[in-house]
Amino acid sequence: MDGNYFNNENNNESMNSYNPNFIMIPDNKDSENQHYSCANDENNENRFKEKKAKKKKGGSMASYVAVGLICSMLGGAIGTAGVLYVLPKSQSFEQTALYKSLAKDNKNISYGPTSLAMEKEALTASEIVKKVAPAVVGVSTKSKADYGLFGQKVQEGIGSGFIINQEGYVLTNYHVVNGATQVKVILNDGKEVSAKVVNYDVQADVAVVKITDNIKVPAVAELGDSDSLQAGESVVAIGNPLGKEFLGSVTEGIVSAINRDIDIQGKKLNLIQTDAAINPGNSGGPLVNSRGQVIGINTAKIGAEGVEGIGFAIPINGVKGKLEALSKPILKVGIAAREVTEAIAKENGVPVGVYIVEVQEFSAAEKAGIRTGDIITKFDGKNVKTVGEINQIKSKHKSGDVVKVEIYRDGKTKVLDLKLSE
């Protein structure tokens, strides 16, 4: 039974799971992407109609492509970015549930004058880039993936991020650093420096990375107010589409809509829609308003055939309140666990709580005396029924804190002292 490692207040992923997040590249062997430019060519026109007819037969769901990692297996073939969903090419976008839901309710779109249109402090695109680009970085990662009979392969990836303080903390997407065993930050001048993942929020798809080399940060991005955005405002996206070769690329567009509720791999996110071009590698990079302030984190785009200029960014206001917690190191307990529900407890004659599936060697849990098969019923003096409750309590502590852990073992209750550590 796979449980959950309590290595982070927001991390409830399976202890043995690994998600390399590859884009699935549609098979083009039938040349469905071929464009027939000769409008008067009867044969081409007929073939185009046949292809179009085929496309109407299948498909069932909309597609969101995370614009995060440009991956390549070392010694292997080149892959592309992380996938959230892939829209079947046989389905037109107008047939999707996403299109219908967006078309049905436009109350989240403001068509009034933009709040910045008449302000004198609005900057030109060049001025915005001059102000923000030095704070935009590449986030380069290495991770391991299990390929069965072929063993483990090392994968390299690159996303984007931006520096948020003088201490070298960088804000990016969680899916950029997910599974990373090594992290480097690439500064805007191309210099690579060492870094580490400090903390992350899986559900919000945000993470904080810290530069560990002793350097002076080139710049710090100014955070703006995403709640004041209106549709039609000018925005600029800065990042690293398609990898290091295009480091610091700049694209310009507008806010197409605000408050788009998008379900991405089971996570419901409220996002800003923009037509500024964002591509694989842009994930974690800033979406910037005309004052040169970061108002969003570029995170996804619709990857359907025939769809252009529909990208999404996480509003920065939803992240600001998390920055203090995300800047604290991950506190590790060192256990894998599953929840004992009321039904399971009743059936097995045990209390409700969190069942220990595995204890890591030399971990805080092992040192405290926690064993496989124990059931945690209280953590820091509070009753717990779920992994999430333990993580929430743990997030309020700092490294070195000692918490009381009440466990049920062999029909008896015992209280252990557990020292939290990074």
Measured CA angle at 324 (ends 332, 9), to 5 deg = 30
Q: In the block, which residue shows the tokens 């695109």?
A: 125
CA distance 331 to 386: 18
318, 206 Cβ separation under 8 angstroms = no
Q: Which among 205, 290, 363, 380 is annotated as catalytic?
A: 205
Token digits of residue 102 = 């967006």
Q: Which among 63, 143, 175, 249 is annotated as catalytic?
A: 175
Beta-bridge partner residues of 412: 409
Q: Which among 143, 283, 290, 363 is annotated as catalytic?
A: 283
294, 253 Cβ separation under 8 angstroms = no
Strand, helix or coil at 129? helix
Measured CA angle at 421 (ends 420, 422), to 5 deg = 140
Q: Is 189 a catalytic residue?
A: no
Estimate to the nearest angstrom the gap between the alpha carbon of 49 and the chain centroid.
39
Q: In the block, which residue shows the tokens 């769901």?
A: 61
Q: Is 205 a catalytic residue?
A: yes
Beta-bridge partner residues of 193: 185
Burial (0-12, 13-18, 19+ Cβ within 10 Å), 337: buried
Burial 25-63 (b: 16+ CB within 10 A, else e): ebeeeeeeeeeeeeeeeeeeeeeeeeeeeebeeebeebb
Rg (C-alpha) for the chain, rounded Å, is: 24
**Residue 158's closest CA among 46, 81, 47?**
81
Q: How many other C-beta atoms can be found within 10 angstroms of the C-beta atom of residue 342?
A: 9
Beta-bridge partner residues of 234: 254
Q: Is 14 a catalytic residue?
A: no
| Residues with catalytic function | 175, 205, 283
